[in-house]
Amino acid sequence: MTEKLVPTDPSHIGGHRLLARLGAGGMGVVYLGRAESGELAAVKVILPEYADQPEFRARFRREVTAARRVDSPWVVSVTGADPDASAPWLATAFVPGPSLAETVAACGPLPSRGVRVLGRMLARALTTVHEAGLVHRDIKPGNVLLTVDGPRLIDFGIAHTTDETALTSAGVVIGTPGFLAPEQARARPASPASDVFALGCLMAYAITGRPPFGTGAVDALLYRTVHDEPDLDGVPDDTRPLLERCLAKDPDDRPTAREVDETLADERPEDAADWLPDPVVRLIADRSAAMLALPGIEATALDARAEGQPEDPHPSDVPADVVPAPSATGRRRFLLIGGAALLAAGGGGALWAAQRDDGASPAASPRVRRWVLGVQADLTGPQRAVGRGQERGIRLAVEQFNSREDKPFTLTLKAVDDRGEATRAAEVARTLAADRDLLAVIGSTGDATTGASLGGYDERLIPQLTASSAQSPYGTSDPRHFLQAVPSYTHLPATAAFSLHAQGARRVGVLVDRAGGTAAWQLGNTMFQNLGVLKIAGEPRVAPRLAEDLTPVVADMAANKPDAFVFMGTPARAAAVARALAATDFDGLRVLGHPSADKEFLSAAGAAADGWQIFAPYIDPSASPVRAFTGAYRNRYGSTPPYWAAEAYDVARMVISRLTEAGGRPSPEELFDLLVKDTYKGVVRSYTFDKKYRWLESYEVFRYEVKGGRYAYAGKVDV
């Protein structure tokens, strides 16, 4: 479906008059455009903030090259492109039909013959793709458009050649969970066989109305894709054997796209005029008719350029604290709105004073801009002990800076409480980000609240740093101004695996409790992968979220005589596992994921907690590197700092250091560049961020062991 153009949209791109919006993605906007020939086209335009980044421009250039290499009637054709333009764009033939995903949602599953015709035409499309030396890597219902004469495969945004290195980081899952192959779920390179697996998923979805590996959380989908058999109930006998071959776990056991085409040879595309049921044909006809009844072309701010007017700056180029002058095209609207506002404000002078970027009237002295550092934390919710400790650590760093006689500015701290609730986290983030004086924010405390708050700060280009949330990733698109100043869940297990290896472990049982959410999954899955790298036999088990008793699972794992036992889950279930393991004859190493290591585990496990090791990203307050901080904290607040307070203090000092180095008040974007530019040596760790992917490169990990009912600090882990 189409949407109206907005005032900031361009009016023309590459000879196309833009008529409407078709959709917006993470890196750009797709418009409906009309070429000079009169043909309609889907015009994809990269957003300005990405066009200036070489890696994104290279990715887009690769998409253009890949799409141009494929010549098939079942693949949308490229009609024009300019990846080197100031606003890179790609135009493809416009297909008015709905996607397969929309069709199944609106009309239900397709009949068996229709799915076989669909499968054969897409197999022919993939044969062309693979013969061109490409792998699509994202075959899914949303990337298949339906017309009465057959499907059309779209979106080569993440396609790559079979011999190239993809412009993505190692260990990143590429594709859509639920419609990707087991090797992609394990973050391994995709091949033509991966596309065939996805085709099998897509056909199963089309014929049953559900993905063969279910729905739900991403980690659950990836796990089921790797370990479970597909759900093919309802697939007819004439199609089921083919889908079983396509969905084989081993890529070598899958047919090629050409073999799928040959297997479905009884369904000839040229005789497939009636391949879709009547409701779907009507849906396609309605979409086509809507294109013939497009509304009048919306005027945009950029239409003025054709009349010789100066180009308005793109919104992303205008500082958030500056009110831009109205363009000629919007002057009448500005005068109408402004007149009402003037009366409401009590006169022209009042409105002018309110809109000046320095906040002062012409007769008054200019206001000195505040230098504001924000803190978002759980101050009253389930993680309030950690959140309060972090807020106090950051406040201590600010107070120490402000007490300096040579300070170049005075820093104001502004704290907000998200109560550990994701919905509230998003609300308070938007509120805090609206402060025009805010330079950066540290927070939030937990994974859910950090993820929920990302958009609020990123929209305002405010640098956001977390000292304690280690989830990776938080969503489908990476925030542009976010830094994890803590080793992520996918980096921590490497140190733990090396330590187990050094302690003599050669066979390790890994129990992942789904009740532990994303943290447990990422820690457990990465631990298993790292054990494999070290040639340690890993035996993974996954406990369902609703499992009431894990004792049988623990007993079964212990019966295999492992050298070590690893558990990733919740504190309460960790205690139950510790007690169950203590009841067996297991006497090997025990490792507990740090999210489970709290007071609840100690009290609930009792004596069974002794001997468990924890590999954590936080340092103990008694450790020598942070004794000065601990002393200052105790003097200021009258108590010993909790875990994570020193890390927050470190991050605050890093931000303050970069602000001081700026030599003047930096913009938020300038501050972000300073944060990632050089290494900062903190009291807990050195903070160095990868220049390209912005992840923390220093992985200091600290080991604890439960002794006598307490977590005894065993020092920094050296591997």
Spatial neighbors of 206 by CB under 8 A, at least 6 apart, are: 100, 104, 109, 110, 114, 115, 118, 141
Residue 551 CA to residue 268 CA, distance in Å, equals 56
Nearest CA-CA partner of 21 in 7, 6, 37: 6
DSSP state at residue 99: B
CA angle (66 as vertex; 61, 70 as ends), nearest 5: 150
Instruction: Give CA–CA dist 36/651, Å, rounded.
Output: 55
Distance CA 197, CA 480 (A): 33
d(CA 354, CA 351): 5
138 is catalytic: yes
The string of DSSP letters for 208-238 reads HSS-TT--S-HHHHHHHHHHSPP--TT--TT
DSSP helix/strand/coil, 532: helix
Question: What span, in angstroms and rounded, lies between the C-alpha atoms of 388 and 415?
Answer: 11
CA distance 305 to 308: 5
Task: List the structure tokens of 256.
Answer: 């090629």
Print burial letters for 386-398: b (CB count within 10 Å at least 16), e (below 16). Answer: bbbbbbbbbbbbb
Omega into 571 within 30° of 0, i.e. cis? no
3-state SS class at 485: coil
Q: Are strands 40-46 and 78-82 parallel, antiparallel or unpaired?
A: unpaired
Q: From CA 598, how far away is CA 332, in angstroms rounded?
A: 62
303: which 2 tokens?
């239409």
- CA angle 659/671/661 to nearest 5° reads 35
Return d(Cα 491, Cα 479) in angstroms, integer.
19
| Gap between the Cα atoms of 265 and 243, Å rounded | 15
- Catalytic one among 9, 71, 84, 138? 138
**Angle CA 531–534–539, to nearest 5:** 30
* Contact predicate 489/472, CB 8 Å: yes
Report whether 371 contacts 659 (CB < 8 A): yes
| Residues designated catalytic | 138
